[in-house]
């Protein structure tokens, strides 16, 4: 495998291993900072463990229905890759009792190989539903799609995949204000065969991989502007 192809595969594996940055849009003007850890589940010495990928990120309430966010991937730095993601999440619908919300948005995942300067950017679209049976407990589930426009390095393959889908579901707990904790399960690339890899991924019927992720966020105090005289 060439260095370019290896770099490409690394981005798809590590980049897809990011939990939902914003489950529900934040209050306008509020800012959250967070840390997440986890990754695809693999079999290691008879045990099932998640690959310990990690990243730090921040999210800001642009309006009461739209939030913007950005993240830095710490694990990628270990492999001499500078990787960032940035995007927005928008609430399209909220039920009268506020227990059901529909949220969607888009993001860009970028990576630069520090060894040779190779750069790749992947657009991502996502959509999920959020149900709050007993606030501050929230359940959510949805799908994201990675769009791959770098056809040139895949010309040797007989088939070309434009889209890489990811399905996810999770639980978020925000009882200990200003802290929020989330646990998310992902089904990665469920339509791609995954039985000829270096590590043994936990998958269904030799397709895709499963992932588990933990996120912890902290809400920064909202600054109060002094009213003008």
Provide the b/e sequence for 25-54 (b: ≥16 CB within 10 Å). Answer: bbeeebbbebebbbbbbbeeeeeeebbebb
pLDDT of residue 130: 97
Q: Does domain 3-219 correspond to CATH entry 2.40.160.40?
A: yes
Higher pLDDT, 203 or 100: 100
Where are the chain's structural domains? 3-219
- What's this model's pTM, rounded to 2 decimal places? 0.83
Render pLDDT for 78-101 as a digit per residue (tens, 0 to 9): 888 899 999 999 999 999 998 999
pLDDT of residue 53: 86
Render pLDDT for 1-33 as a digit per residue (tens, 0 to 9): 445 444 445 455 555 568 999 999 999 999 999
29: left (phi over 0), alpha (psi -120 to 50) or beta: left
Render pLDDT for 42-81 as a digit per residue (tens, 0 to 9): 877 777 877 788 999 999 999 999 999 999 999 888 888 8
């Amino acid at each position: 495998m060439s260095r370019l192809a290896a770099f490409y595969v690394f981005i798809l594996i590590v980049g897809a291993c990011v939990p939902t940055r914003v489950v529900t849009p934040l209050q306008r003007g509020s800012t959250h900072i967070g840390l997440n850890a986890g990754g695809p589940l693999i079999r290691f010495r008879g045990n099932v463990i998640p690959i310990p990928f990690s990243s730090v990120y921040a999210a800001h309430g642009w309006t009461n229905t739209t939030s913007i966010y950005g993240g830095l991937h710490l694990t990628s730095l270990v492999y001499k890759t500078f990787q960032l993601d940035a995007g927005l999440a928008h609430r399209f619908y909220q039920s009268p009792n506020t227990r059901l919300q529909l949220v969607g948005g888009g993001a860009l995942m970028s990576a630069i190989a520090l060894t040779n300067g190779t750069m790749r950017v992947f657009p991502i679209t996502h959509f999920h539903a959020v149900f709050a049976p007993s606030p501050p407990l929230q359940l959510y589930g949805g799908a994201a799609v990675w769009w791959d426009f770098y056809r040139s390095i895949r010309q040797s393959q007989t088939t070309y995949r434009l889209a890489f889908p990811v399905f996810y579901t999770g639980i978020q707990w925000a009882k200990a204000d200003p802290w929020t904790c989330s646990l998310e399960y992902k089904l990665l690339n469920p339509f791609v065969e995954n039985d000829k890899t270096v590590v043994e991924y936990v998958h269904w019927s030799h397709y895709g991989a499963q992932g588990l992720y933990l996120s912890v966020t902290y809400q920064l105090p909202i600054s109060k502007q002094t009213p003008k005289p």
